Amino acid sequence: MGLLSHTVSVTRYNVQGKVKEPVLDTIAECLKENVIKDIDEDTSEKRVGWTSFENPFLPDFSGSSFVISTHMVFSLRIDKKAIPQKTIRKHYAIEAAKRLAESGRQFLTRDEKKMIKDHVTDTLMLRIPSTPHLYDLIWDYDSSSLCFFSNLKSANEELETLFSRSFQLSLIRLFPFTIADLTMGLSDGERDNLAKLSPTNFTG
């Protein structure tokens, strides 16, 4: 989901902690260390990393290219490859028949079948292009707030994992319970009572 899309879904986070000074240099270095790596000539099924907001397929975090006004703007990119099972079965059958003809046997062992399937899958993975999925984010460092432009569970989980690994900072997803916990200065007893509350169903 893109920041400039006609319709957007947004997940809000509170960023726990601070990076070492100078802030922009540290963040730039962390982005570069965890930039997305291309998998079009790789056997990987998925790869996750940071990329540029303005040029997501040629990521560049030099200088302050990711800074817009007082905010940091960049993107999470998830590249995936998916091979239909029917395609794998087709190529496996061809390769298995070839192996039997070469060996003069009528059956393949379990290990041979696995080896053939792995070989077929890896070969196909090298041949197919990946599909990129882009999710923009805006990070207001001074207010420790971050907006991530997706509500997809899988995308949010990838963001939280990569963000923690990149910056050694935690993301707390904001919804009514966490907002109350973070902003209301609750006592331990009040926090326990908050945890016991359940949402009200307003549908008839």
pLDDT 10s digits, 189-202: 645 554 555 655 65
Q: Model-level pTM?
A: 0.80
| CA nearest to 137, candidates 16, 45, 31 | 31
Average pLDDT over residues 40-47: 92
| Per-residue model confidence (pLDDT) at position 81 | 95
pLDDT 10s digits, 62-105: 888 999 988 999 999 999 999 999 999 999 999 999 999 999 99
User: What gap in Å lies between CA 87 and CA 39, rounded to an integer?
Assistant: 20
| Per-residue model confidence (pLDDT) at position 82 | 93
pLDDT 10s digits, 140-184: 999 999 999 999 999 999 999 999 999 999 999 997 555 545 555
Q: Are the C-beta atoms of residues 61 and 28 closer than 8 Å to each other?
A: yes
Average pLDDT over residues 31-56: 94
